[in-house]
Amino acid sequence: MKKLFLSTLLISSVVLALAPVPAPKQQKEVVYHNATVHIGNGKVMKGATLAFSEGKITRLGYFKMKWQPTDIDLKGKHIYPGFILPVTRIGLTEVDAVKATIDDVEVGQMNPNVRSIVAYNTDSEIIPTLKFNGVLLAQPTPRGGLVSGLSSIVQLDAWNWQDAAIVSDDAVHVNWPSAMRPKFDMATFTLKTVKNKKYHHQLEQIKSLFIDAKLNATQAKNIKLDAIKPVYTGKRKVYIHANKPKAIIEAVNYFNKIGVPSLVLVTGQGVLPVLDFVKQSGIAVIVANAHQLPQREDSSVDAGYTTALKLQKAGILTALAYQGGMTMGSRNLAFTAGTLASYGMDKEQALQLITSNTAKILGIDKNYGTLEVGKSATLFVSQGDALDMKGNRLIDAYVDGRKLNLAGRQQELNQRYLKKYGK
Amino acid sequence: MKIIICLVLSFELMANPNPTAMLNGPKDERHPIVAFTNAHLFIDENTELSNASLIIQDDKIIAVGQNIDVPKKAQVRDLHGANIYPGFVLLDSGYGLPEPGKHAPFTFFGAEIMDTTTKGAVNTNEAIKASYQGITEFHHDIKKAKELRKLGFSSVLSSRHDGIMRGSSVLVNLNDDSDNQSIIQPKVAMHLSFDKGSSKQLYPISLMGASALIRQTWLDAAWYSEGQPSYIDVDLTAINKNNHLLQIFETKNWQQTLLADKLSKEFNKNLIIKTSGDEYKHIDAIKKLNRKLIVPLVMPKAPDVGDELDAWKVSLTDMMKWQMSPYNAYYLNKYKVDFALIPSNNKSFLKDLAQAVEKGLPRNQALAALTSTPARYLNNSKIGNLNKGSFANFIIAEKDLFKKGGKINENWVAGKRYEINEIIPLQSGIYQLTIAGKAQEIELQNKAGKLEIKSTAKESKLKFKAQFSEEFVRLKISQAQNEQNLLGLVNYNSITSISGSDPVWQAKRIKDIDKKEDKDKKANKKLDIPVVPQPFSAYGLTAKEKASSYLITNATVWTGETAGVLENTDVFVKNGKVAKVGKNLSVKADKIIDGTGHYLTAGIIDEHSHIALLSVNDIMANSSMVRMEDALNSDDINIYRNLSGGVTAAQLLHGSANPLGGQSALIKMRWGATSDELLIKGADKFIKFALGENVKRSRSQSSIRYPLTRMGVEQVYRDAFTNALAYEKQWNDYNKLSRSAKKKVMPPRRDLMMEATLEVVNKNRYITCHSYVQSEINMLMKVADDFNFKVNTFTHILEGYKVADKMLAHGVGASTFADWWAYKWEVNYAIPYNAAIMTKMGITTAINSDDAEMARRLNQEAAKSIKYGGLTEQEAWKMVTLNPAKLLHLDDKMGSIKVGKDADIVLWNANPLSIYATAQKTFVDGKLLFDRDKQMQIERQISNKRMELIKQINQSDEPKMPAQMKPEKHMQCDSLTGYEYLGAG
């Protein structure tokens, strides 16, 4: 198996130190037999056949058809829907500490009109490392300010952003302010929490933007208000970024009151005291990162690893993101789902948090997120359990049936030096 | 009655002029004697005299005792049994000295200030201000004196709170006379701290830097005094000249108190430590210091937990601080710690004092801590007592001063009277009120000068209103529409109408008010003293584990030794060591743990960690003199969290702002131990080096600190090692001299920086070097080769794969991240195959965390080398156990399961390299310090305790502080402060 794995890589690593060439359209049908198929909706089909053609899944299940010579036996191997990475900086940043490579925070507080899709760099060196681990779809999202801008949903194997886009400008992102804010105190050299003096002003800024857009409070064309208007028809979602219980309640109540039909909450352990409220409100939740330290010194030592479990148990539609200091870490999305499983979640349900649930929240579940006949063949074959780093070894991966070149610069460098050392 | 009035007035005397003063007017010198009779005297905390007299003249007590003769010349004042306490002595104040300037210890922007900005022949570090003398700037401050007298203080030790060595303090009385007359002693103590204060100079910016600076400065002072130095340093001179004075060291937490003690022992200095009032957190350790302490009476406000969503932000530890702080003085006294008390909050000091007494501090100990103890510290017998010859510094209080509601009526300082709360000579009680011959009983309450009167007859509808001013009482009696206004003169415990007025009336005290029963009950209520967990944390332990041996049965044991994996095997641990490994062991164990279906491994060792530290980085290009062990924080919850991830030991590294960083601390996760006990005894000495972007301060556009390029970095090393060898030679040459020849020359200066650097060159201290790109890795190996030593470990080493052959040749080990890259330019060519390539090349390779969160998942990080690079499970596992043990020279004791090795072991519920594995039980030194089976129960206890304290806080009517949430600190290589979370270093 190891040999098969390595040789696959070697063949595709002729691209050298550039991001791999995007794959061409699917030409012929691909048929896998004897696979453990993880549907992505909580179910698993063992020893099943999965076939796709022209980018769509054509067959899934148990068939008594004769194998064709090109059919592939996947005994002992797994097929997964492509993982989806929501609210990410992928393609918008390259090297975190080098300002020139960062394109995810525009100046100012109110940027509903800025669009991540035009800055999304399909040739980012970070993208191949995500595909290598099974992340095939993502939602590049602006950050910063009170209203950060518009995200888009992309597939990760494209020549340019036009090709990459699945849904452009799908959501506007709002950072709901909190009455308290952290402040670094130079005198004592410690982080303190101080009153956010701008809190009311910040709330007013957000509220007037949304109200003015609703009432079209302008005579000339106003691109900021225009960016907000689609949220009232549900064509564009509002993502609330908030991790304090009161801020969550305030924000959700506000958007409900003004009639925004489609809301998503991006949060962390701060949602735990208001689980019932969130459940009642019917809002979907994206957990910003499962690999978090407990919020308080006295919190459960596993608090970060069990937040999503508690949301899911409360009956809230939940997905996982991988936010944090370093963009490159998001290649570990699958392992954050795996970690949830080690702290009490059912494995297939943990998988849903990076596949079907995410697709539902993003509104792309018609085509993506599960392996079902008629849906996009955006999937991969793994040597073993893809939520476990020991098993997560991709043999093949497809976006809309297009077979990807998985190996990138990192694999090439590995080969180069193994060869240098004769290993 | 009239006599009293004029006597009181006659106390208001001006001081006699200074003898050398030229008078502008007639001479008016007087020396009146005042006798206080019928007083309840507290001569000191052990001597209480009732019905006694105190006689003073000028600023001194001239006689004291029961049945003593009152001189005929004396003005007599009958105190009717009121208390006289010695005036309080305040050991820590900036009273009468100018406020020091303010300056942030460090800024991220602008050019660094590398040298002192103080003018004159001062020390080369601006935070050393030992030559400062409080006496030269002292000027009494009428407003501040009044404020302090209100709290009962009559004498104050005043120092300027600025810098690490702060110079000398002055002892003064708080009388409003000339400075000449209020100063008791011009130069009393030398003051120190770990706080650089207003210094604009860059170094030091950390606790361990301040500690290193203090050590170096003491060494310098000793050296400076040994011969004829060729230059002048007034601060070193002052240190030497004032060595005989008291040395008072200010600390900000109990950890700093332990550190100050450690430094003073090293240099044989007899320090008194002014603490922060958190001794209760580790009273055992504080007790062991056997040191004089000056302790602020800290009564933190309760966090506002008013609504449940606010309560969510509040950590239990903050609530515990509110709960436990009032018991601090109780604990100090119980453990027989020598302590003086000072206020923490002037506004509530007397209330705080009463609370401390209520919480179990005996009254006489409270008095001692404010009077005789500080006086003893100062070696001054004239203050803090009421003995003959002492200063006439005393407090008159009608009621017990140490009880809730206790008030100071008068504070006499150096024989001068300062009235704080007027004494109304009417004690609460039942009075007989007679108006025009008609008598009735009334109950009179004197509530600190406010009179409340009601009839004792329950059916009475009379309403009384009384007002006291000067010596008169106005009494208004009303019933329905009828109103009667009476005016009377007050004598002791009686009021009489003014002669000639109508009606004739009087009120006379006849007996005490009957106390209610429930009050008695309250007084008898037993003190419910909360147990202090060790460490002071929600997850702290309240009981020590008793079991000293464990048998883990039928587990899959990953030995990490040649024995490999042993199925169905028992492991017996006893007295902290692995005692037996085998099948079906028959031994007697205190506890047996069924390991069926479980995996037993050695504990994970994190080669690169920054948890359990109070600060991480200092700033000199060569910071080899700073020691991380000086900044240990055994209270850090991340120790417990590390245990929950199976981590049992770690190297705590200095940050990466310096080519030569600080000295590492190697610790075990001994949750419950104090900082020094965390250290691994007998471990080899390690040091952090760093290369690349951080040491050249790439993120500051305006930095001027050398080096700014990788070229400069090499030169820093060559310079440091060259100087270290020269330093060694200098000492060798000196040591070869005969005793008489030595006397003729100035000895070489001991230089802690050079000593640590020399240890590296001489292979007595081992390098863990933060490194990224191949050029710099090769550079350091080449420099080391040139100086004939080896680099022990490259940490991070993300381009190690490019130079693995050279590393192998040099013999260096590697400790790396599993898959980090792209967070800064120099890691852009990092690959997750790095660890595997280096392993395949035969380099001892470890995977480390550098991150408190990831440290709990190092098993997962190790498993990534199977995904990337195809290592075997045992190869992968060694990267977080045996290999880091080897890199830290601890593999004879740790890193594998072998008879005789330390019982640092972990029981996992699945293959430890699987993502589904969680540590079930973690042992350190054979002690079970994390048990997942008990976690539910512990969390429930914590939750109950939270609820209980939230309830208590909501029931208390004390003012609250706004709910606060402390953001989690991510201490990583780049952390100067924990603030700049810019990814790993």
- DSSP letter for each residue of A247-316: HHHHHHHHHHHTT---EEEEESGGGGGGHHHHHHHT-EEEES-SS---SSTTS-TTHHHHHHHHHHHTT-
Six token digits for residue A343: 């702290």
d(CA B834, CA B821): 11
How many CB atoms within 10 Å of residue B852? 24
Contact list in A for residue B852 (CB cut-off 8 A) is: 293
CB pairs under 8 A between A and B: 196
Q: And the tokens for B764?
A: 């007595």
CB B397 within 8 A of CB B85: yes
Distance from C-alpha of A180 to C-alpha of B960, rounded to nearest angstrom: 16
Taking the CA atoms of residue B87, residue B93, residue B97 and residue B102 in that order, the dihedral angle to the nearest 10 degrees is -160
Is B965 within 8 Å of A192 when comparing Cβ atoms? Answer: no
Please, what's the b/e burial string for B593-610 (b: 16 or more CB within 10 A of its CB; e: otherwise)?
bebeebbbbbbbbbbbbb
**A297 vs B942: CB contact, 8 Å cut-off?**
no
Task: List B685's β-bridge partners, or say none.
Answer: B765
A3: chain B residues, CB-CB within 8 Å:
none
The answer to whether B377 and B50 have CB atoms below 8 angstroms apart is no
Closest partner residue to A297 among B105, B308, B538, by Cβ? Answer: B538
Q: Are A347 and A250 members of one domain?
A: yes
Q: Are A305 and A339 in contact (CB under 8 A)?
A: yes
- A26 and A123 share one domain: no
Q: Do B831 and A413 touch (CB under 8 A)?
A: yes
Long-range contacts of B109-116 (CB under 8 A, 24+ apart): B109/B700, B109/B702, B110/B702, B111/B702, B111/B703, B111/B704, B112/B202, B112/B619, B112/B703, B112/B704, B112/B705, B113/B200, B113/B201, B113/B202, B114/B201, B114/B202, B114/B203, B114/B704, B114/B705, B115/B201, B116/B199, B116/B201
Q: Which amino acid is at A21?
A: V
Residues contacting residue A220 through CB under 8 Å, at least 6 positions apart: none
Q: Is residue A324 part of a domain?
A: yes
- Which helix (H) or strand (E) segment holds residue B486: the answer is strand B482-491
Q: Do β-strands B565-574 and B577-582 pair in parallel, antiparallel, or remain unpaired?
A: antiparallel
Residues of B in contact with A335 (CB under 8 A): 860, 915
Contact B350, B323 (CB under 8 A): no
Please count the structural domains in chain A.
2
Domain that holds residue A335: 83-368
The span from the CA of A383 to the CA of B865, in Å, is 15
Give the pLDDT of residue B595.
97
Q: What is the DSSP string of B165-180?
A: EEEE-EEEE--SS-HH
Residue A16, domain member (yes or no): no
pLDDT at residue B979 in the model: 34
Shared domain check, A44 and A116? no
SS3 A357: helix
- Residue B642's closest CA among B880, B845, B834, B817? B880
Among B832, B870, B914, beta carbon nearest to A410: B832
- A280 and A241, same domain (yes or no): yes
B512: CB partners within 8 A, 6+ apart: B429, B430
CA B403 from centroid of its chain's CA atoms: 28
pLDDT tens per residue, range A157-178: 999 999 999 999 999 999 999 9
**Mutate which of A181, A417, A418 to disrupt the B interface (most B C-beta within 10 Å)?**
A417
Is residue B305 helix, strand or coil?
coil
**What confidence score (pLDDT) does residue A43 get?**
97
- ipTM topping 0.90: yes
In A, which residues are within 8 Å of B802 by CB distance?
417
ω into B503 cis (within 30 of 0):
yes
Whether A421 maps to a domain, the answer reads no
| B902-937: b (≥16 Cβ within 10 Å) or e | bbbbbbbbebbbbbbbbbbbbbbbbbbbbbbeebee
Please give the structure tokens belonging to residue B378. 């100062």
Q: Are residues A166 and A286 in the same domain?
A: yes
All residues of chain A having their beta carbon less than 8 Å from the beta carbon of residue B821 are 328, 410
Task: Judge: A296–B316 Cβ closer than 8 Å, yes or no.
Answer: yes
In a domain, A36, yes or no: yes
Q: What is the mean pLDDT of chain A?
A: 93
> Hey, are the CB atoms on B962 and A410 less than 8 Å from each other?
no
> What's at B625, amino acid-wise?
M
pLDDT at A186: 59
The answer to whether B423 touches B82, Cβ cutoff 8 Å, is yes
Closest CB to B964 among A184, A193, A417: A193
Low-confidence ranges of chain A (pLDDT < 50): 1-15
Spatial contact of B386 and B43, defined as CB atoms under 8 Å apart: yes
End-to-end CA distance of chain A: 18
Is A418 inside a domain boundary? no
Partners of residue B973 in chain A, C-beta under 8 Å: none
Please tell me the predicted confidence (pLDDT) of residue B422: 86
User: Has residue A207 been placed in a domain?
Assistant: yes
Q: How far apart are CA A10 and CA B801, in angstroms?
A: 19
Q: Within this chain, do residues A72 and A127 fall inside the same structural domain, yes or no?
A: no
End-to-end CA distance of chain B: 81
Judgement on whether residues A67 and A97 belong to the same structural domain of the protein: no
Sort out which chain B residues have CB atoms less than 8 A from A126's CB and list them: 822
Name the residue facing B833 among A195, A339, A410 (closest C-beta).
A410
Token reading at B312:
């969510």
Would you tell me the crossing angle of helices B363-370 and B349-358 to the nearest 10 degrees? 140
And the tokens for B161? 């709170």
Give the nearest partner residue to A417 out of B837, B857, B962, using CB atoms: B837
Chain center to CA of B250: 9
Neighbours of B492 (CB within 10 A): 12
3-state secondary structure A110-172: ECCCCEHHHCCCCCCCCHHHHHCCCEEEEEECCECCCEEEEEEEEECCCCCHHHHEEEEEEEE
Q: Does residue A299 sit in the same domain as residue A227?
A: yes
- DSSP per-residue codes, B677-734: HHB-TTPPEEEEEE-TTTTTTTT-TT--PSP-SHHHHHHHHHHHHHHHHHHHHHHHHH
In this structure, are residues B571 and B905 in contact, taking their beta carbons and an 8 Å threshold?
yes
CA distance A418 to A54: 38
Give the whole-angstrom CA distance, residue B570 versus residue B582. Answer: 5
Residues A335 and A329 sit within 8 Å (Cβ to Cβ):
no
Lay out the sheet containing B463-469: strands in order across: B450-455, B438-447, B429-435, B505-511, B494-497, B482-491, B472-479, B463-469
Give, in order, the Cα–Cα distances in Å from A123 to each of A20, B380, B572. Answer: 9, 78, 56
**Contact residues, chain B, for A423 at CB < 8 Å:** 837, 840-841
Min distance A384 CA to chain B CA atoms (Å): 10
Q: B837 to chain A: which residues are within 8 Å by CB? A: 414, 417-418, 421, 423
Same-domain pairing of A137 and A169: yes
* Distance of residue A305 Cα from the nearest chain B Cα, in angstroms: 11
Do the domain assignments include residue A167? yes
Tell me, yes or no, whether A6 lies in a domain. Answer: no
Report pLDDT for A16.
54
Cβ contact B663:B686 at 8 Å: yes
| Rounded-to-integer distance, Cα B602 and Cα B892, Å | 13
Nearest CA in chain B to A17: B829
Of A6, A274, A410, the CB nearest to B831: A410
A52 and A110: one domain? no
Cβ of A390 within 8 Å of Cβ of B863? The answer is yes
> What burial class does residue A325 get, using C-beta atoms within 10 Å of its C-beta: 0-12 exposed, 13-18 middle, 19+ buried?
middle
Domain CATH for A284? 3.20.20.140
Taking alpha carbons only, the member of B494, B470, B490 closest to residue B9 is B470
Closest-CA distance, B16 to chain A, in angstroms, reads: 45
Contact criterion met (CB < 8 Å) for A331 and B819: yes
Same domain, A133 and A110: yes
d(CA B853, CA A327): 17
Q: Are residues A280 and A355 in the same domain?
A: yes
A contact test, residue of B323, B915, B920, B944 with most A CBs within 10 A = B915
Q: For chain B, which residues score pLDDT lower than 50?
A: 1-10, 967-971, 975-985
Contact assignment for A192 to B935 by CB distance below 8 Å:
no
Contact (CB, 8 A) for B169 and B137: no
User: Which two three-digit tokens encode residue B878?
Assistant: 């060694």
